[in-house]
Amino acid sequence: MILKASSGLEAFLLSYFQGVPVNYLSNITTTQRPWLLLALSALGLELSALYFQYILDLQPCIMCVYQRLAIISIFSAGIIGSVAAQNLFARIIAFGLWGTGAIWGLIIALEHVEAQSNSGSFFFSCDIIPNFPTWAPLHEWIPFLFEATGDCGEISWQFLDYSMPQWMIVVYGVYTAAFVVVLLNRFVIARKP
């Protein structure tokens, strides 16, 4: 299929994805496996968080709890997409959850890194009780997952000189980039002429 660019963004995307099967990227969301891979990657991260909390005794702070919720959003997107990949409405919901979880998680992780770097500042503060809606107090309903008992400014774990929130920036960056590439391909490149 030969695609012709009608705008600068389309020209950039067409040149960037030259040689990549356009139909593959466009149709990837209509099959079960990619959504299942998304769900399994998020489940692995959630289980890792529980391992860090309950086995390594690293207590989650309020921002960690919000990042967990973002990962659960991505996991939910993967489950919905894998169960109903052929259903347009389900895919729209899955895309919404994926994008919301990835972008919101990235924002929270960036704020968390900033909080860690300014933890000695007089203006630094870290909430203790999550700010969930009154109709969904997740920290009361599922405290083993959403109760914040740690300090946002404390760096208690590092790997390759990156703290946990710095690694989460990498994770959410990958999720966000994948979301943007798939979504833009779906709307711009794979559009039928």
Task: Give the pair of three-digit tokens for residue 7.
Answer: 């705008």
CB within 8 Å of 56: residues ≥ 6 apart: 157
Residue 21 has what DSSP assignment?
Answer: -
pTM: 0.76
46 against 139, higher pLDDT: 46
158: β partners? 163
Pairwise CA distance, residues 11 & 6, whole Å: 7
Instruction: Assess contact for 77 and 105: CB atoms under 8 A.
Output: no
Mean pLDDT of all residues in 18-45: 74
Active site residue ranges: 61, 64, 68, 126, 152
- pLDDT value at residue 24: 58
| H or E element that contains 163 | strand 162-163
Q: Assign 180 a pLDDT band (cuts: 50, 70, 90).
A: confident
Pairwise CA distance, residues 73 & 128, whole Å: 22
Pairwise CA distance, residues 189 & 67, whole Å: 32
Q: Which residue has the tokens 């399994």?
A: 40
- pLDDT value at residue 55: 86
Q: Is the predicted pLDDT of residue 67 greater than 70, yes or no?
A: yes
pLDDT tens-place string over residues 78-129: 999 888 877 878 888 998 999 999 999 999 888 878 877 776 555 566 666 6
120 against 176, higher pLDDT: 176
- pLDDT value at residue 124: 61
- pLDDT value at residue 58: 82
Of 13-17, 29-33, 75-79, which one has max mean pLDDT?
75-79
Domains and CATH numbers, the chain: 21-119+127-189 (1.20.1550.10)
pLDDT tens-place string over residues 141-169: 767 667 767 666 666 766 787 777 888 88
- pLDDT value at residue 74: 94
Q: What is the DSSP string of 21-65?
A: -HHHHHHGGGSHHHHHHHHHHHHHHHHHHHHHHHTS-----HHHH
For residue 19, the one-letter residue type is G
Instruction: Assess contact for 115 and 150: CB atoms under 8 A.
Output: no
Task: Give the pair of three-digit tokens for residue 75.
Answer: 């996991």
CA angle, corner 16, sides to 191 and 12, nearest 5?
70
Mean pLDDT of all residues in 50-77: 86
Pairwise CA distance, residues 130 & 140, whole Å: 10
Among 44-53, 106-115, 129-138, name the one with the lowest average pLDDT.
Answer: 129-138
Pairwise CA distance, residues 182 & 113, whole Å: 28
Average pLDDT over the chain, rounded to an integer: 76
